[in-house]
A = this chain, B = another copy of it.
């Protein structure tokens, strides 16, 4: 279970909530930091501070090569034994989009239908077959993994989620905005699209430019460092 079931028949909810948080006010987000960064403040804003999950997109088209450019950046991020198990399916044609939309949670259906582009981000449990390229010094480990499908599935999931965390800022670095969702029937999506590849879907992500109106929910709060950390 990726999220928490609030939509009947779905195993999870979206990365953004299914309920419009209309009673929430925008929280203030800093535009500079007490500790100097080695990147400029405008870039920190684009990648993190001012970046927003997009609920409604403009009609501006998104090219495959823009998504690939983001992958070109994020692929250098670290993974366990460099296994790099993240995969992505670009769902472009109207027919393909329809096949996907039917498996989305109710409130995710219209935005997935109308987004300029949607990608399914997945984990590949067969990553060990590429370790000859990725980790040529670990051929014995790769051979052992061939006989350990459950370990591979968990490794693929863990490391692809980590890579998804690189992918989202990388898409922003290419100038794209994203609306990631876990509110979909993952088993049905896997059966629909990944019966052959055996990829395991993690999130469905709409990609494009924000619409002039209705693009964002109010900015929600975050916890302070003192609330999430300790020093010993």
Contact with B along A80-100 (1 / 0, CB 8 A): 111010111111110010000
* Given the contacts A2-B80, A66-B35, A174-B37, A74 and B48 also touching, CB distance less than 8 Å: yes
Which of B21, B69, B134, B158 interacts with A161 by CB under 8 Å?
Answer: B158
* A 211-232 binary contact with B (CB < 8 Å = 1; else 0): 0000000001111010111111
- Whether, in the assembled complex, A168 has its beta carbon less than 8 Å from a beta carbon of chain B, the answer is yes
Closest to A167 in B: B165
A: number of interface residues (CB 8 Å): 108
CB-based contact B81/A222 at 8 Å: no
Chain A residues 192-215 with CB under 8 Å of chain B are 193
Chain A interface main SS type = mixed
Which of A29, A37, A165, A174 has most B Cβ within 10 Å? A165
**In the assembly, what is the distance between CA of A1 and CA of B145, in Å?**
13
Contact status A80-B12, CB under 8 Å: yes
Query: Which B residue's beta carbon lies closest to that of A152?
Result: B4
A96 CB contact (under 8 Å) in B75, B134, B154, B232 = B232
Residue A175 CB within 8 A of the other chain: yes
Please name all residues of chain B whose beta carbon is closer than 8 Å to the beta carbon of A76 when the two chains form the complex.
29, 48-49, 51, 222
By a CB distance below 8 angstroms, the chain B residues around A81 are 3-4, 13-17
Write out the residue numbers on chain B whose beta carbons fall within 8 Å of the beta carbon of A124: 228
Q: Select A38's contact among B4, B68, B173, beta carbons within 8 Å.
A: B173
A8 proximal to B (CB < 8 A): no
Given contact pairs A17-B137, A89-B230, A89-B232, a sample of 7 additional A-B residue pairs in the complex whose CB atoms are under 8 Å apart: A4-B148, A48-B166, A71-B228, A78-B168, A90-B230, A161-B165, A164-B165
